[in-house]
Chains A and B, each alone.
Chain A
Amino acid sequence: MRKALGKRCVWGVCGVLVSILLATSVAHADVLSDRSGSVLIWPKVVWNGTRDTVVQLANTRNESMVHARCFYVNAALVRPTQPPGPRNPRLWQVTDFEIWLTKQQPTHWVVSEGRPVDFSDPLGDPNAGLDPGAIPPVPSGFEGDLTCVETDSNGMPFGGNALKGEALLQDLDGDVAKYNAYSIEATNFAADEPVNELRLNNTPTFPGEYNSCPQTLLLNHYAENTASPACRADECEVFTEINTTLTLTPCNRNFENLIPGKSQLFFEITNELEQRLSGSTTVECWFDLRLELFGSTTGGSPFEVLGPGALFTKIFPPDALLPDGSVNSGVIGIAEERNTAPEYFALGANSSVAAFNIQQEGYRFDKTFEQTGRDDIFDSITLSDQQ
Chain B
Amino acid sequence: MRTTKGLWRWALACAVVLCLSSAASAIDVEAPGVTTDRAASIVILPKVQVEPAVDDGLVSPGGAGGIIVQRPAAVDTFIQVTNVSEHLVGVYCFYINANGHCGNAFGPICNDVDFHEVCNGLPCVPGWQETDFRFSLTKRQPLSWSANDGLPTLPLATMPGMGIPPQFNEGSIPPVQESPFIGELKCFQVDPDSLDEPSPTPVGNNELKAEATILRTLPYVDARKYNAIGIPAVPDHPPDPSNVLNLGPCHLEGDIGVCDDIANYNSCPAVLTLDHFFEGAHVITHAGDVNTPVNSTITLVPCSQDLSLQVPGTATVQFLIYNEFEQRFSASTKLQCFKSVRLADIDTRPGPDGDAYSIFSIGTQGTLTGQSRLRPVAGPIGDENIFDANSILGILEEAFLVDRHCIFDGVLTSRTCDLNSDCPTDNVADCQPGVCAGDPERECDSNDSCGTFGPCKVLKTDAANIHVQGVPQEANQIILPRRGN
Query: Which residues of A are interface residues toward B (Cβ below 8 A)?
Result: 2-3, 6-7, 10-11, 13-14, 17-18, 21-22, 24-36, 49, 52, 54, 56, 58, 60, 102-108, 110, 112-113, 123-124, 126-130, 164-166, 168, 170, 172-180, 187-189, 202-208, 218, 220, 222, 228-233, 235-237, 239-240, 270-276, 309-312, 314, 337-341, 343-357, 359-361
Contact = CB atoms under 8 A, between A and B. Distances in A.
Interface stretch (B117-125, B134-142, B239-247, B299-307): B134-142
Contacts of A36: 273, 467, 469
Given A124-B366, A230-B148, A235-B70, A10 B10 contact: yes
B358 interface: no
Contacts of A26: 25-26, 28
Interface string B38-55: 110000000000000000
B222 interface: yes
Contacts of A33: 36-37, 465
A22 B29 contact: yes
Given A33-B37, A337-B213, 15 more contacts: A6-B7, A18-B18, A21-B18, A31-B37, A34-B466, A126-B368, A202-B26, A208-B26, A220-B82, A230-B215, A274-B139, A339-B215, A349-B221, A359-B39, A361-B38
12 contacts: A6-B3, A18-B21, A174-B290, A176-B460, A178-B463, A236-B70, A272-B156, A309-B144, A337-B223, A344-B60, A349-B412, A360-B38
Given A310-B144, A312-B82, A354 B213 contact: yes
A260 B151 CA distance: 45
B378 interface: no
Interface stretch (B255-263, B317-325, B476-484): B317-325
Interface string B155-171: 11001011100010000
Contacts of A203: 27
B24 interface: yes
Contacts of B28: 26-29, 204
Given A179-B464, A208-B26, A346-B218, A272 B6 contact: no
Interface in B24-80: 24-30, 32, 34-39, 58, 60-61, 67, 69-70, 72-73, 76, 78, 80
A168 B276 CA distance: 11
A123 B467 CA distance: 28
A373 to B, nearest CB: 20
Interface in B343-373: 362-363, 366-371, 373
B209 A130 contact: no
Contacts of B224: 354
Contacts of B311: none
Given A21-B18, A312-B141, A356-B226, A104 B221 contact: no
Interface string B409-444: 011100000000000000000101100000000000
B22 A21 contact: yes
B217 A239 contact: yes
A364 to B, nearest CB: 14
B368 A128 contact: yes
Contacts of A272: 141-144, 155-156
Contacts of A232: 149
Interface string B371-407: 1010000000000000000000000001010110101
A124 B142 contact: no
Contacts of A346: 217-221
Contacts of A340: 221
Interface string B250-279: 000000000000000000000001010000
A337 B226 CA distance: 11
A354 B284 contact: no
Nearest to A173: B412
| Minimum-distance CB pairs A-B, first 10 | A129-B324, A207-B26, A174-B402, A274-B161, A123-B366, A25-B25, A14-B14, A354-B225, A349-B220, A178-B462
B217 A345 contact: yes
Given A348-B407, A356-B225, A35 B324 contact: no
A236 B70 CA distance: 6
Contact of B7 (A3, A165, A348): A3
A111 to B, nearest CB: 9
B33 to A, nearest CB: 8
Nearest to B71: A239
Contacts of A357: 36-37, 227, 465
A30, A220, A271, A353, most chain B CB atoms within 10 A: A220
A205 B23 CA distance: 10
A108 B363 CA distance: 18
A376 to B, nearest CB: 17
Contact of A207 (B23, B151, B281): B23
Contact of B220 (A165, A172, A347): A347
B171 to A, nearest CB: 15
B283 interface: yes
Contacts of A35: 467-469
A236 B67 CA distance: 10
Contact of B141 (A11, A206, A270, A354): A270
Contacts of A28: 28, 32
Contact of B286 (A49, A179, A188): A49
A114 B287 CA distance: 11
B84 A129 contact: no
Contacts of B398: 168, 176, 178
Nearest to B287: A112
Contact of A349 (B67, B367, B458): B458
B485 interface: no
B225 A355 contact: yes
Nearest to A179: B464
Given A106-B371, A128-B368, A32 B142 contact: no
A14 B140 contact: no
Contacts of A30: 35, 37-38
Nearest to A216: B84
Contacts of B275: 56, 58, 106, 164-166
